[in-house]
Amino acid sequence: MTAWDVLSVLGTLVGFVLLLVLAWWASRAIGRAYASNGAGRTVQLLDRVALGGEKQLLVVKAAGKVLLLGVTAHQITFLQQLDEAELPPPAEAPESAPFLAAFKRALDAKKGRETGDERNGPAQSE
C-alpha cells in the first residue's frame, strides 16, 4: 500500500465525516426554522385526539374561546364551543423510567433468554 493510497483513504474518510457534520448542522438549522409546538400568539392547541387514519379532534383556544374542531385531510369542521371553566385541568405527564434504564432491562431480559434462566429452562439453539 503506497502513501498515495493511504492519503486517498484518509481524504475520503475526512470528506465523509465533513458531509455528516454538514447534514447534521443543516437538519438542526431547518428544524429550528420550522419548529412549532402548537402554540401561537392568538391560537393555542389544548388537546388532540387521533381517531384513526387522518382524522382527529382538536381542542383549540382562539380569541378567548375554546373550540372543539373535527379535522380530516381535506377539511376542518367546527363542532362545538366549550366552556373553559368546565374543561378538566391538564393531565400531568406520567412518570416513566428513563430510556436508558428501560433499555438496560430489555437487554437483561434478552440476555436471560439467550443464556437460559430458571424460568424458561436452558437456551435452545436454532
Does the structure show a pLDDT above 70 at 19?
A: yes
Mean pLDDT of all residues belonging to the chain: 81
Q: Using 50, 70 and 90 to split pLDDT, how confident is the model at 34? A: confident
Mean pLDDT value across residues 103-111: 84
Mean pLDDT value across residues 15-33: 90
Pairing of strands 65-71, 76-82: antiparallel
Q: Is 81 helix (H, G, I), strand (E, B) or coil?
A: strand
Residue reference for cell 438549522: 29
- pLDDT, residue 96, reads 61
**Cα–Cα distance, 48 to 44 (Å, whole number):** 11
**73-98, pLDDT tens digit by residue?**
999 999 999 988 888 776 665 566 57
Q: How far apart are the first and last CA of the chain?
A: 43
Higher pLDDT, residue 35 or 122: 35
Of these ranges, 26-35, 36-45, 88-97, the one predicted with the greatest mean pLDDT is: 26-35
